[in-house]
């Protein structure tokens, strides 16, 4: 199957939460706040998923408030890591940010995808 990167939908909440729970115990993973994730996705916060067939194998979800945007969750199935999926998802997510967030504070722009994913796969960050 071809990997698809697409917008995170409210119908993805269940499979995305399963992925977050599966990755929670991994040593390189910072557990996500599941309740906050569900609330944000239900409130139409921007997000992107990587899908292989019918299975979600990656999730990135962010929040935008006023002129600021930050990433709340990044999770990739361990079997799919180190294949550039996180980079592709992050680029797609960044396209969803309004121009005000992308250009607001260039020195605090999203980390490069390589640096970002090198530190941790599941990660919460606020500028």
Q: What is the CATH number of the domain that holds 97?
A: 3.40.630.30
Residue 79 lies in a domain: yes
Residue 28 lies in a domain: yes
Domain span holding position 84 = 3-119
Number of domains comprising the chain: 1
| Beta carbons of 116 and 23 less than 8 angstroms apart | no
Residue 127 lies in a domain: no
| Beta carbons of 46 and 90 less than 8 angstroms apart | no
Q: Tens-digit pLDDT profile for the chain (127 aa)?
A: 689 999 999 999 999 999 999 988 888 777 788 999 999 999 988 999 999 999 999 999 988 777 677 788 899 999 999 999 998 998 888 887 765 455 444 334 444 444 444 333 333 333 3
Q: C-alpha 64: how far from its chain's center?
A: 13
* pTM, two decimal places: 0.75
Residue 126 lies in a domain: no
Residue 110 lies in a domain: yes
Residue 125 lies in a domain: no
Exposure of 106 in the CB half-sphere (CA atoms within 13 A) = 0
């Amino acid at each position: 199957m071809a990997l698809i990167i697409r917008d995170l939908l409210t119908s993805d909440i269940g499979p995305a939460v399963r992925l977050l729970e599966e990755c929670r115990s991994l040593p390189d993973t910072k557990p996500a706040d599941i309740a906050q994730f569900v609330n944000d996705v239900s409130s139409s916060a921007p997000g992107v998923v990587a899908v292989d067939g019918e299975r979600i194998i990656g999730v990135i979800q962010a929040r935008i408030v006023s002129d600021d945007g930050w990433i709340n969750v990044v999770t990739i199935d361990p079997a799919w890591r180190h294949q550039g999926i996180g980079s592709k998802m992050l680029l797609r997510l960044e396209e969803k940010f309004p121009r005000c967030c992308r250009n607001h504070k260039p020195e605090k722009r999203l980390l490069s995808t390589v640096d970002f994913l090198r530190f941790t796969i599941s990660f919460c960050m606020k500028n």
